[in-house]
Amino acid sequence: MDIGQLSDKILNGDRRALARAITLVESGREDHRAQASELLGRLAGANRQALRIGLSGTPGVGKSTFIESFGMFLVQSGLRVAVLAVDPSSARSGGSILGDKTRMERLSRERNAFIRPSPSQSHLGGVARRTREAVALCEASGFDVILIETVGVGQSETVVAEMSDLFLLLLAPAGGDELQGVKRGIMEMADVILVNKADGDLKPVAIRTCADYAGALRLLRKRPQDPEGFPKAMTVSAVEEQGLAQAWDEMQTLIGWRRDNGHWDRRRADQACYWFDQEVRHALLARLETAQARSRMGELAAAVAQGEKSPSVAARDMLAELEQG
């Protein structure tokens, strides 16, 4: 594969080249990893930035309907939109959250939209790296907005928040005054909470739910990096395409403020450091996964089990052997 040519095509916004490049970064093959690194290195020079929006919500809350409506709204506003997904469950379930072709039918037909299903990977570290690299490819390709979708499972929100400039949490209208068991950590990550399905019979419930969340958000720690009134809760209807322009206005207000006050650059720098740290950790852990290391771990574990070595001595032996390669 001619990486120079591929790079030029991506910079020209060629979507097929972009899709090929994402396949390349998703590959685990050594030679592909090397090509991917070369490609990403070349493209970094272009220094293009998109607005990266993370989006989370439990299954059924309306994520794909929202992405379709909101994506169409952005495209109709003259923006180029890419949609990526982080779905750590895909390997287990055999499907992927963007894999279903019937999802986002209108958006997928748009010339200025690009939709990429989540790669099937068993561990989140692998998914995270590939998605992060796909984000970089989409940025180089000149997209204005990148939507990164995730389902609310385990650590995937953290992964998405750490690669987003802005984090949206999509919620459904809830009866009574219970806060749908949303974990505090996820609430704290959200910049804008969107209570979806604010239409028909559900509208009054959505409005009440939204007020409940607005109240809950006020109780969270004040964020010095954000203007007054954020994080914010709003209602939308993905189906009726209501509230999308207002939501976009609020996002732009928040992002404009962060750019003007240096928070945008700082957040990206912090994220880069976070990913550097994660990469080192994953690479170290990967060294334990080689056949040789595993068999040696087994031997040492047996020695520990039989009381021949203490756990700490065996651990030190193992680490010393790893260091020697």
Binding site for ligand GDP (CB under 6 A): 57, 59-65, 196-197, 199-200, 202, 237-239
- Tokens at 298, concatenated: 């087994």
Quote the least distance from Cβ 99 to ligand GDP, whole Å.
12
Quote the least distance from Cβ 79 to ligand GDP, whole Å.
21
- Tokens at 198, concatenated: 């604010």
- Please say which residue, 25 or 238, places its beta carbon nearer to ligand GDP: 238
- Please say which residue, 189 or 198, places its beta carbon nearer to ligand GDP: 198
Q: Are 156 and 124 in contact (CB under 8 A)?
A: yes
- Please say which residue, 57 or 88, places its beta carbon nearer to ligand GDP: 57
- Tokens at 155, concatenated: 């650590």
End-to-end alpha carbon distance in the chain: 32
Please provide residue 102's backbone torsions phi and psi, each rounded to the nearest 5 degrees: -75, -10
Quote the least distance from Cβ 206 to ligand GDP, whole Å.
9
Quote the least distance from Cβ 196 to ligand GDP, whole Å.
5
Q: Are 170 and 63 in contact (CB under 8 A)?
A: yes
CA distance 296 to 91: 29
- Please say which residue, 14 or 240, places its beta carbon nearer to ligand GDP: 240
Query: On the CB side of 266, how many CA atoms lie within 13 Å of its CA?
Result: 9
CA distance 61 to 50: 26
Closest-approach residue to ligand GDP (CB): 62
- Please say which residue, 139 or 199, places its beta carbon nearer to ligand GDP: 199
Quote the least distance from Cβ 300 to ligand GDP, whole Å.
45
Phi-psi region of 181 (alpha: psi -120 to 50; beta: other; left: phi over 0): left
- Please say which residue, 59 or 154, places its beta carbon nearer to ligand GDP: 59
Quote the least distance from Cβ 60 to ligand GDP, whole Å.
5
